[in-house]
Structure 1
Amino acid sequence: MIVRKNYLELIIPFVDTEPIKVMTGVRRSGKSIMLELIQNYLKSKGVKEEQFIIINFEELIFEPYLEYHALNDYIEKKIAQTNLKTYIFLDEIQEVNHFEKVINSLRATYKSRVDIYITGSNAKLLSGELSTLISGRYVQFEIYPFKFLEYVEGRRSIGDNRSENDLFQSYLVEGGMPFPVFQNIQYRDRLNYLSDVYNSIILKDIIERENLRDPELLRRLLNFVLGNVGRTFSANSITKYLKNEGLKVSPTTILNYLGFATDAYAIIPLKRYDVQGKKFLASQEKYYVVDHGLRQAIIGRNEEDLELVLENIVLLELMARGYEVSVGKTNQYEIDFIAERKTETKIDRKYIQVSYLLASPETREREFRPLKEIADNYDKMVLTLDPFTSDVDGIAHVNLIQWLLDDNY
């Protein structure tokens, strides 16, 4: 099992504290692994396994507890069996109707006698009644598929001793969904698994949850988004595209469906930020996919669309490192990413351009020019697959693979 240090370092300070720990993320991204890692950490601190109540609501054995009264009775009986503190782990909690009533009742009834951890595959998990009931009493962590460094660690753990460059070639097409990383299975079987995950997201987390009337529209729309990750487009442009494909749909419906897919963590929208004007722009977001392996499984072309996929990989890495990310605009130039996170003492901001290779002076100028337009002193970086790099005017030129392998960059 890979120790996901980025997330554990964020979660551990909240262990044995009042806030409910909520982990959200796309289906099969490793949320269950995080619960196991937390349990292992607790055991290392002397907590006994009998103090754990562990329920995964996707397992058939727990189907009787999908009714919230039954779930509450089951957990209370388990708590009563020990005088020690109880650690409650509820995986994919959104499967339980009115689960928020159970969570709030346990918190209010047992207070410091329980420590509660829940996971879910929808961003709306903390909206509505749950947010109202536990407002100010929870802390949320978004869990993403494996970063490249974790992918390498996973492959090494099962005896894959290929070079990091060769592993990156595999990562480009397979992505970071945890399960296939630990399997010595054929490429086709990996893609079949990823296709099944994607279809499960579509069916369970979007179509069924939102009661969509037009599943075919959703699939066609997401195929368009997958094919255009990192490209700027609007609801109106998608409407025109689908009209040419024989589908009549309004921009409002497009925006609603994109919102449902975002809530299910299938896609990631990025707003555009005007560096000079210091404001977010109202139109033409960019969309990325939560795992580029899903893109390969559904539409292929990752190796052909290399620049787009490299951007997607960099975005996922930045988000896993705890950055809030937007797309930049300065004068007439676009900046691939503006990444920002706040520490106790400062704002950590980076301006990042992503390219395959700086194969010509024209390409080099194109990638460095937008960063030269920025007047502040925050870090500026161009990431490429060039084996040899050279900085320009204080702008770092960094090998992308080495950047992915070093969290300190």
Structure 2
Amino acid sequence: MTMIERPFYLNKLKAHKDDEQIKIITGVRRSGKSSLLILWQNYLQKSEPDSDVIFLNFEHPDTFHLHEGAQLYEYLKSTVTKDRVYFLFDEIQLVNDWQRYINGLRVAFKCDIYLSGSNSELLSGEFATYLSGRYVELPIYPLSFREYLDFRGYRQNESKDPYFRSYLEDGGFPLTALTQNADARTGIMKGIYDSILLRDVAQRRGVQDTALLERVVAFLMDNIGHTISANNIANYLTSSGMNTYVSTISSYLSLLEQAYVFYRAERYDIRGKERLKTLGKYYAVDLSLRRHVLGKNDIDRGSQIENLVYIRLRQQGYTVFVGKYDNLEIDFVCFQNRTVKYVQVCEQLPPDSDRETNNLLKIRDNYDRYVVSMNSLDAGIRDGIDVIHIYDFLLNDL
């Protein structure tokens, strides 16, 4: 299969090339981390002919004998032949004691190191201790709408509507975007879901009750855009006849976040300028997972759009919260480089109501505020608020 470049992420790697930090590519399984490393390997081999470029995928059988840190180190010592070397390691967490040996490579070789992994624990515990902040995380997501259009061969004179409908339905996992047959896409989606949930979450974390785990996933998928706590999930499941505890649900929520299946948006008190520890909203990394779990597409379009907007904001590097201003809710409060932006999301601005804009106008500061609407006729400036059509929002930076 021809590999399609993802310049947004390649440019991020180029920006950090040779900067002495370990580059860690994180994201949900099948989001394109391996392909990105292969593209980066190709780039380095062309641009750095006087350096070694060593790429290892630790899920490939050829590397199974290297799953001990000491064996990996001995292999690298015998393989490196040039003064400068670029190490590209895919799914590095499969190597025992990898944290210590990755740190040791910095001492043993004149090198630039790139790692990938499908679990956020890569960035915690021992590894963070060894590196003392000498790393940079580069999160990767399933395809943005712009990337999806590129993958599907969109031409400028075409309507975006059918592409957007299929993007909502099939999501942005690269393999599904490149697959034309609907039945094949369904099979691929099942494989992606099973590999994420049963392998990355259940098997690797010793989850015995996979039925309960799947019920938690279904609850989260069905309640996108609603504030959620482990307590109300446990209460709901108990009332449905399942035996569970709040502590178990809390553990499952953490595991799903660690595997990048869901992202939790904490609440933020805009007036008090502080994070609120209670409740929060969960958003799926890709809407195709939601459709696979619930079998829904057109139902609750507002939640779908809210999910798209949240993930797009994260793709742009914003830290995103759910806003609270007195008794009002602001869909998203976005922080980046000491600036703040407020975003409301709606299917269309109600003709007889200013609710979407009024909530934003009541905030007493001068930060930019936006409404993202599904209705192209809503676009424009209203009372100083930029109303953006969903296509323009997804295809441009905020």
Q: TM-score range by the shorter chain?
A: over 0.9
Return the offset for 1:162.
5.1
Return the offset for 1:83.
2.3
Q: 2:53 maps to which residue? A: 52
Give the whole-Å Cα distance in 1 for the aligned partners of 2:143 and 2:336: 20
Return the offset for 1:64.
1.5
1:150-206 deviations in Å (ceiling 9; x for gaps):
11111117x89852121011101111111121222x223213212211111112211
> Where in structure 2 are the equivalents of 1:155-170 lying within 5 Å?
155-156=152-153, 163-170=159-166
Return the offset for 1:29.
0.8
> Where in structure 2 are the equivalents of 1:135-284 lying within 5 Å?
135-156=132-153, 163-184=159-180, 186-284=181-279
Root-mean-square deviation (Å): 1.9
Give the whole-Å Cα distance in 1 for the aligned partners of 2:240 and 2:77: 55
Q: 1:78 maps to which residue? A: 79
1:126-158 deviations in Å (ceiling 9; x for gaps):
22222211222211111111110011111117x
Distance 1:279 1:183, change over 3 A: same
Give the whole-Å Cα distance in 1 for the aligned partners of 2:387 and 2:268: 23
1:355 pairs with 2:351: no
Q: Is the 8 A contact 2:189 2:292 kept in 1?
A: yes
Q: Which of 368, 375, 391 does residue 379 from structure 1 map onto?
A: 368
1:95 pairs with 2:97: no
Give the whole-Å Cα distance in 1 for the aligned partners of 2:156 and 2:388: 26
Specify the SS of the correspondent of 2:339: strand
Q: Which of 273, 281, 285 does residue 280 from structure 2 map onto?
A: 285
Q: 2:386 maps to which residue? A: 396
Count of aligned pairs between the two proteins: 395
Structure 1 stretches lacking a partner, 5+ long = none
Letter in structure 1 aligned against 2:33 = K
Q: 1:319 maps to which residue? A: 314
Give the whole-Å Cα distance in 1 for the aligned partners of 2:49 and 2:301: 47
Specify the SS of the correspondent of 2:18: coil
Where does structure 1 differ by over 4 angstroms across 4 or more consecutive aligned residues?
A: 159-162
Q: Is the 8 A contact 1:191 1:296 kept in 2?
A: no
Letter in structure 2 aligned against 1:308 = S
Q: Is the 8 A contact 2:41 2:88 kept in 1?
A: no
TM-score, normalization: structure 2?
A: 0.94
Aligned identity (percent) is 39
Q: Is the 8 A contact 1:146 1:176 kept in 2?
A: yes
Give the whole-Å Cα distance in 2 for the aligned partners of 1:115 and 1:260: 30
More off after superposition, 319-328 vs 302-311: 302-311
Q: Is the 8 A contact 1:6 1:320 kept in 2?
A: no
Structure 2 stretches lacking a partner, 5+ long = none
Specify the SS of the correspondent of 1:339: strand
More off after superposition, 268-277 vs 226-235: 226-235
Return the offset for 1:359.
4.5
Q: Which of 5, 8, 12 does residue 6 from structure 1 map onto?
A: 8
Letter in structure 2 aligned against 1:275 = I
